Amino acid sequence: KLDILEYPDTRLRTVARPVDAAQVASTAFQTRLDDMFETMYEAPGIGLAASQVDVHERFMVIDVSDDRSQPLVFVNPEILEREGEQVYQEGCLSVPEIFADVTRANAIKVRAIGRDGEAFEMAADGLLAVCIQHEMDHLAGKLFVDYLSPLKREMVRKKLAKRRRA
């Protein structure tokens, strides 16, 4: 299991660098993917970005299925199209016990390299679209609390400081 960085740890603000596609097939990279899925499932969560475990490379794992049967790997993800808007009450494994409404695109088209090292394109909507956008923010050093008003963000900071002292 990997340790998940917690806000306001400044390492979460690092902008991840692209992965060398030739490395995806390597045992080392595949093992890191296994560790990411194990950490995500154990949290439990439906998404985890490499940034959250202090690995600043552009990849993330997602599984929004109810029975943990649809693991998805996105390496060097890019959003090709965005459509509509949806509000979702988001949480984050790096900002424990804080939830807030975030507005994101309702439907997206994303291109990435998969676990097999091959490029693919995927259309996503609903919770999967929210999760992909949430994880891609992590890779850009952004957190969902950045969308909150300064006042609400200050309340979050105080609440987490108290939680850490407890």
Ligand X SMILES: O=C(O)C[C@@H](Cc1ccccc1)[C@H](O)SCc1ccccc1
CA distance 36 to 162: 29
Q: Does 128 bind ligand X (CB under 6 A)?
A: no
How many other CB atoms sit within 10 Å of the CB of residue 52?
29
Q: How far is the CB of 32 from Zn ion (least distance, A)?
A: 18
User: What does the alpha-carbon distance between residue 161 and residue 166 come to, in Å, rounded to a whole number?
Assistant: 9
Q: Pick from 61, 75, 113, 131: which binds ligand X (CB under 6 A)?
A: 131
DSSP state string for 108-154? EEEEEE-TTS-EEEEEEEHHHHHHHHHHHHHHTT--GGGGS-HHHHH
Segment contacting ligand X by CB under 6 A, of 9-17, 118-126, 132-140, 157-165: 132-140
Instruction: Tell me: does residue 92 bind Zn ion (CB under 5 A).
Output: yes
To the query of whether residue 135 is one of the catalytic residues in this protein, the response is yes
Q: How far is the CB of 138 from Zn ion (least distance, A)?
A: 6
For ligand X, the closer CB: 57 or 135: 135
Binding mask 2-41 for ligand X (x = CB under 6 A): ----------------------------------------
Judged by CB under 6 A, the chain residues 32 through 91 that form the site for ligand X are 45-49, 88, 90-91
89: enclosing H helix or E strand: strand 86-90
**Phi, psi angles (nearest 5°) of residue 56:** -100, 65
C-beta of residue 111 within 8 angstroms of C-beta of residue 80: yes
Q: Which residues bind ligand X (CB under 6 A)?
A: 45-49, 88, 90-94, 130-131, 134-135, 138
Q: Which residues bind Zn ion (CB under 5 A)?
A: 92
Residues carrying an active site annotation: 135
